[in-house]
Chains A and B, each alone.
Chain A
């Protein structure tokens, strides 16, 4: 900023100087022509008279005739160039400003060389004044700039210090802390806004994790406390009951481990840490395998399981994970539908549907069932980890497949589109 002003002033100064010099040159040129003409038209004496009468304000003229110097100047300095070339030279006068600077040159006239000069003191004074003014202007601007900059940086620094303090608070676990956003909508407000949005997301995720942790604590704590009680009672049991009791405890423990494993692998699949073993998978074959494995299970509940396939499609996917996901859905249908229910596996092109005429799922629960550890049956009567459907959703979304729950009135249609 200051630099710009300095450059501007310097430019103005150059312009001024050049302008002045031009004027001086022009002035001298007119005088030169006048005296050359004069020398041609008048006689020697009139010429001398004219020179003597010349107004010193217009130009200072000196002419050396055969006898002495005529004109405003009493001498002609040596080495004066011929106009239009000029040279500056000092003269002494009797006045208050004793020393003057003149600019001038020699004109060759009919009557010999004539010195034409003009005073350039005014110019010099003007330049001095100008430089003086420019100096003060620059100094003033510089001062203002520094002051404003200081005030601004002070304000910015204050906000940064504030941000820093709040960040420290967040670091210490106060996740509900937010940075202040003013109404200026400047870059700092944008930054603070962005930061606050990140904090919102983080806080939400933390809450979600906390919720899940609470659920895990519940789901693992209950069997673990059963185990603790069981082991504590074991030495007091009659010998013939010990092996049965131990087996029961082992089952309970295995259930804990299964929940734990499911939790881990769900996280790995959801977060994409687990690499999928991609291979061509025929949806028809997949459904046939599914049917074959589940048929006997349905039979054991006197349910009928049917398979309808048309237009086979081969997709690229992880066969084992897809099978696991689909089997989980069919297994759920079998588990929750009553005896004598009908369960259908329908594959048509890229769509697989699992249709049952069991109790179905109410609309408000349809989204919730995919959440971790949500079990619609509050008594937790059916054995399960509560992670099955989250896993199904995670596996399907890694395969870019959509899953939708629809009403079969009565019953449920699980609709999967690859």
Chain B
């Protein structure tokens, strides 16, 4: 996998670059808009992480230029501007996803992977399997060690998202977006309550540890059962 990071803030750039390097990505960087556009045009990337405010050439202008050039590489916009307006602007200019600074690399990674997968259609997976946990997407049947779990629709969606990213920390915001069609920071425990219910069902089968709470970050589905 090859990623281009266009970011002028050195600290953020280093943080993101190190994160992707640790995930075995080939990382290219640019610290201003012109360089970013040049590299994006002349190399083939799986994903571009693009800062919104850049010297010389603004992030959105870069993105528009890239799209007008016929380049369809997935672009994830990073921005310190958190308003809904800005998000909409970013997506309209051709961005595929939008994240507000500050952010956790774990969430950036999950979002980036989602975009890469979407862009490279693989053989449609009808089943998900993590350890002894199996999910049949067509029949919506979930089994753990041959025991079937009866899940509510929202619980099913939450578990599906976790199973798509096993062993990764998934933030509450990501889970919220995955399950509900509403964009706002749920400063509530609505996700926690749903996860607690889901976890109780695993507990009944003797495996509450499958869904692990990561303090200050989110939840993780463990493979090691």
Which residues does A use to contact B, with CB under 8 Å?
244, 246-251, 254, 257-258, 261-262, 264-265, 268, 274-275, 277, 289, 292-294, 296-297, 299-300, 320, 323-324, 327, 331, 383-385, 388
Q: Are A249 and B187 in contact (CB under 8 A)?
A: no
Counting chain A CB atoms within 10 Å of each CB, the highest count among B154, B183, B194, B216 belongs to B216
Size range of the chain B interface in the assembly: 20 to 34
Q: Are A274 and B184 in contact (CB under 8 A)?
A: no
Interface of A is mostly: helix
Q: Are A251 and B185 in contact (CB under 8 A)?
A: no
Contacts of A331 in B (CB 8 A): 188, 190
5 closest Cβ contacts across the A-B interface? Answer: A247-B215, A250-B216, A247-B216, A251-B216, A324-B184
Q: Are B193 and A300 in contact (CB under 8 A)?
A: yes
Q: Are B187 and A268 in contact (CB under 8 A)?
A: no
A275 and B214 CA atoms in complex are apart in Å by: 36
CB<8 Å pairs between A and B, sample of 11:
A244-B215, A249-B216, A250-B216, A254-B216, A289-B180, A293-B180, A293-B190, A296-B190, A297-B190, A320-B184, A324-B182
B155, closest chain A residue (CB):
A296
A383 and B184 CA atoms in complex are apart in Å by: 17
A77 and B2 CA atoms in complex are apart in Å by: 125
Say whether B146 faces chain A, with CB atoms less than 8 Å apart.
no
Assuming the contacts A248-B216, A254-B216, asked whether A384 and B194 have C-beta atoms less than 8 A apart, the reply is no
Contacts of B182 in A (CB 8 A): 289, 320, 323-324
Cβ distance A320 to chain B, nearest Cβ, rounded Å:
6
Say whether B197 faces chain A, with CB atoms less than 8 Å apart.
yes
Contacts of B1 in A (CB 8 A): none
Contacts of B154 in A (CB 8 A): 292, 296
Q: Are A297 and B187 in contact (CB under 8 A)?
A: no
Stretch at the interface among B25-33, B36-44, B81-89, B113-121: B81-89
B172, closest chain A residue (CB):
A254
Q: Can you add 13 more A-B contacts, CB < 8 Å, to A268-B83, A300-B196?
A: A247-B216, A248-B215, A258-B185, A277-B84, A277-B88, A294-B190, A296-B190, A296-B194, A320-B184, A324-B182, A327-B188, A331-B188, A388-B187
Q: Are A247 and B217 in contact (CB under 8 A)?
A: yes
Say whether B189 faces chain A, with CB atoms less than 8 Å apart.
yes
Say whether B102 faces chain A, with CB atoms less than 8 Å apart.
yes
Contacts of B85 in A (CB 8 A): 268, 274-275
Contacts of B102 in A (CB 8 A): 257
Contacts of B193 in A (CB 8 A): 296-297, 299-300
A324 and B183 CA atoms in complex are apart in Å by: 9
Counting chain A CB atoms within 10 Å of each CB, the highest count among B100, B183, B184, B187 belongs to B187
Contacts of A258 in B (CB 8 A): 185, 187
Q: Are B188 and A297 in contact (CB under 8 A)?
A: yes
Assuming the contacts A248-B215, A249-B216, A254-B216, asked whether A384 and B83 have C-beta atoms less than 8 A apart, the reply is no
A222 and B82 CA atoms in complex are apart in Å by: 24
Cβ distance A292 to chain B, nearest Cβ, rounded Å:
8
Q: Are B216 and A320 in contact (CB under 8 A)?
A: no
Contacts of A293 in B (CB 8 A): 180, 190
A331 and B100 CA atoms in complex are apart in Å by: 25
Cβ distance A280 to chain B, nearest Cβ, rounded Å:
15
Assuming the contacts A293-B180, A331-B188, asked whether A247 and B83 have C-beta atoms less than 8 A apart, the reply is no
Q: Are B215 and A261 in contact (CB under 8 A)?
A: no
A268 and B86 CA atoms in complex are apart in Å by: 12
B194, closest chain A residue (CB):
A296
Cβ distance B216 to chain A, nearest Cβ, rounded Å:
3
A324 and B214 CA atoms in complex are apart in Å by: 26
A320 and B84 CA atoms in complex are apart in Å by: 10
Cβ distance A279 to chain B, nearest Cβ, rounded Å:
13
B197, closest chain A residue (CB):
A296
Contacts of A268 in B (CB 8 A): 83, 85
Contacts of B215 in A (CB 8 A): 244, 247-248, 250-251
Contacts of B84 in A (CB 8 A): 265, 274, 277, 320
A388 and B184 CA atoms in complex are apart in Å by: 13
Counting chain A CB atoms within 10 Å of each CB, the highest count among B83, B102, B197, B214 belongs to B83
Q: Which of B82, B88, B190 contacts A261 (CB 8 A)?
A: B82
Cβ distance A282 to chain B, nearest Cβ, rounded Å:
14
A52 and B85 CA atoms in complex are apart in Å by: 115
A332, closest chain B residue (CB):
B188
A259, closest chain B residue (CB):
B187
A257 and B103 CA atoms in complex are apart in Å by: 11
B187, closest chain A residue (CB):
A258
Cβ distance B209 to chain A, nearest Cβ, rounded Å:
17
A293, closest chain B residue (CB):
B190
A246 and B214 CA atoms in complex are apart in Å by: 11
Contacts of A265 in B (CB 8 A): 82-84
Q: Which of B100, B183, B197, B217 contacts A320 (CB 8 A)?
A: B183
A296 and B151 CA atoms in complex are apart in Å by: 14
Q: Which of B83, B180, B214, B216 contacts A274 (CB 8 A)?
A: B83
A414 and B99 CA atoms in complex are apart in Å by: 34
B188, closest chain A residue (CB):
A331
A254 and B102 CA atoms in complex are apart in Å by: 9
A220 and B199 CA atoms in complex are apart in Å by: 34
A293 and B180 CA atoms in complex are apart in Å by: 9
